A and B are shown apart, each in its own frame.
Chain A
Amino acid sequence: MREVLYYAPTELTEATAILADHRDKAAVLAGGTDLLPKLNYYEVKPHALLYIGRLGLSSIHNGSSALTIGATTTTADLATHHLVQQYAPALAQAARLSGSVAIQNAATIGGNIANASPAADLVVALLALDASVRLLSHSGQRDVHLADFFLGPHLTILQPDELITQIHVPLSPGKTEFLKLGRRKGQTLAVVSVAVRLQLDGDLCHDARIVLGSMAPTPLRCRTAEHLLRGQKITTDLIHQAATQAIAESSPITDQRATAWYRKKAGEALVQRALLQALDKKEVRP
């Protein structure tokens, strides 16, 4: 077996310097729940591992306009943290429905984003919340809307020398819901998942987000379906139309988990349900 260098820096400048030194030959290691299976199956063969768990990036703060979540915050923390439950309940729900207790204790939000699976539960919720990510390299930092981050399955705009350091979730009003269908109730990837956010004024819909997981090469914002709802009076009929439209925007594949046929069929029901259930939810107020 080839030797792999292992770094566990405590300073961000050190971490970005290591990434720059190794160009694309270093792999960032957070919880390892996505990376280690890939290492074990030789799907990736890095020369160096950069462990980022000692950089002090595991925290959740409440700013004036956004929640700031450190990249190595665990899924378990997201599921239970009072700020997440209060201001981003859909994210807390997505975290609760991710993997198992053991996985939740190790898995991180940064890893879920960087891994860029079309099924990533946290990402689906974060997209509905208009989240953005902060990317840091030795030469500077940039903030990118999560909606502009993904290019395809396991493909993102993240450069080899960049690290996700923070996730920003804007504090905005609305009613949200996250639903997930797996092949069983726990320890299962989404066959289809959906996150919605409705900004309402009485029964008038100001703005809407409808995001699907496992229904396209990346987690998918269904913009035409969202548009159908915007400025309209919310009715059951309209919700059905929006759900049909959301599925029309999707392009699921058949894999071991389900056929494309099933994903569309159940996905439509799930979107309808998420929108209807969101209406009954308590409004998030920043």
Chain B
Amino acid sequence: MKKKGVGMSCVLHPTGNKGAGDPSQAAIQLKPDGTFALLVGAVDIGQGSNTILRQFAADALGVPIEKILVSNFADDFAPLCLGSFASRVTLIDPHAVVNAVEDLKRRIREWVANEWEANPEDIEFDGETVYLRGDRERRSMTMDQIAAGANFGGGYNPGFLVGTGAWQPAKFHAHDPETGEMPAVGAISFGCCIAEVEVDTETGVVDVTRLVQVWEVGKAVNPLLVRAQINGGLHIGMGYALTESSYPYWPTEDYAPEKLGDYFMPTFLDYPPELIYGIEEVPHPAGVQGAKGFSEGSSNGPPPAIIAAIHDAIGVWIDTYPATPEVILKALEAKKASE
């Protein structure tokens, strides 16, 4: 027989450290062709940090995103980033990028002011045009011209126009020896997940038929990537809830997987036919434009929601992950025996 159930979970997910320090760095260079090379240490394995850091750099410079080239492949040379973990990059690295852009603008101002024998404070930016306040007609250069001038010299003074930046949410802060208190996290993101399941009481197989996940992310810097992270969290969450196990019959280790192929993550066929996501934005005071991270939290929502839905369906609380068909059948038998 198939039994339906619905379950819900609420998640709060810390994003970035605070009291522990947790800095990131960035560098940005004006290239000879007028584009900008943004160097970051944050590792992008597909989550999209390269994309959003480009967005932040383009915004801060007032230039189209195509003008920003980003690289994080050169970790021998790249500025430091403490790491792509703790959902910290979206909270912390944009500050480093924006600071690096400000630094680059300062260097450009100085270089241009020197050419024009003017005061750097009188140099203004208007997108890709740099001009002298009050004399825009005569004193104005495009980024291309500045780039060519500084990099190739010729009729201009040579210059290496690079800006650097660094940021951390707070200085290191030891625990209070009395209370143990410390400011632990940079920001917190909030999520909610509702799962609907169908439990086959004869085989123990659990089908997730519908899943809704909503996340409050501060500012959805790139809504498409936010959606991918919310729905991607389902993959990890479903595996955790239903299939992934190193020791299926713990404490007996005899049947541990020997290769990755024996370790069972869900496939697309296991996904709920109905997958709904939602994004809420409450700008976070610590983030650039209110942005903060959240992504890891999206894999924490589904497991408790699925377990709660199983309880709703068959009246048993499963207290071990994963809730494999075998675990479900054993739980049903135990329930029957106790009735």
Contacts and interface: CB of A to CB of B under 8 A. Distances in A.
Interface string B259-271: 0001010111110
B255 A181 contact: no
A254 B202 contact: no
Interface in A250-266: 254-256, 258-259, 261-262, 265-266
A175 to B, nearest CB: 22
Contacts of A191: 325
Nearest to B255: A256
Interface stretch (A10-18, A157-165, A182-190, A218-226): A182-190
Contacts of B257: 256
B245 to A, nearest CB: 9
Interface string A258-281: 110110011001100100000000
A187 B267 contact: yes
Contact of A266 (B255, B256, B329): B329
A269 B203 contact: yes
Given A181-B325, A270-B203, A254 B266 contact: no
A187 B204 CA distance: 19
Interface in B12-36: none
A228 to B, nearest CB: 20
A183 B267 contact: no
Interface string B203-225: 11100000000000000000000
Contacts of A236: none
A102 to B, nearest CB: 12
A186 B264 CA distance: 11
Contacts of B205: 181
B198 to A, nearest CB: 13
Contact of A183 (B202, B264, B269, B329): B264
Contact of B267 (A181, A185, A262, A269): A185
Interface in B123-164: none
Interface string B234-266: 000000000100001100000111000010101
Contact of B266 (A184, A256, A270): A184
Nearest to B202: A269
A269 B255 CA distance: 25
Taking chain A's interface residues, is the majority helix, strand, or loop, or is none over half, making it mixed? Answer: loop
A186 B248 contact: no
A262 B202 contact: no
A192 to B, nearest CB: 9
B326 interface: yes
Contacts of A262: 204, 325-326, 329
B267 A100 contact: yes
A261 B257 CA distance: 19
Contacts of B266: 184
Given A181-B205, A183-B243, A256 B267 contact: no
Contacts of A259: 249, 326
B249 A184 contact: no
B329 A256 contact: no
B267 A184 contact: yes
Nearest to A179: B203
Contact of B270 (A184, A258, A269, A273): A184
B37 to A, nearest CB: 39
A165 to B, nearest CB: 31
Contacts of B270: 184-186
A185 B256 CA distance: 21
A191 B325 CA distance: 11
A181 B206 CA distance: 12
A186 B257 CA distance: 18
B255 A254 contact: yes
Contacts of B90: none
Contacts of B249: 254, 259
A191 B329 CA distance: 15
A178 B264 CA distance: 23
A277 to B, nearest CB: 13
Nearest to A191: B325
A203 B212 CA distance: 46
Contacts of B168: none
Interface of A: 100, 181, 183-188, 191, 254-256, 258-259, 261-262, 265-266, 269-270, 273
Given A181-B203, A191-B325, A269-B202, 13 more contacts: A100-B267, A183-B264, A184-B267, A185-B267, A186-B269, A254-B249, A256-B257, A262-B204, A262-B325, A266-B202, A266-B203, A266-B204, A266-B325
Interface of B: 202-205, 243, 248-249, 255-257, 262, 264, 266-270, 324-326, 329
Nearest first, the 4 closest Cβ-Cβ pairs linking A and B are A269-B202, A185-B269, A186-B269, A186-B267
20 contacts: A100-B267, A181-B203, A183-B264, A183-B324, A184-B243, A184-B264, A184-B270, A185-B270, A186-B267, A186-B268, A188-B264, A191-B325, A254-B255, A256-B255, A256-B262, A261-B326, A262-B204, A262-B325, A262-B329, A269-B203
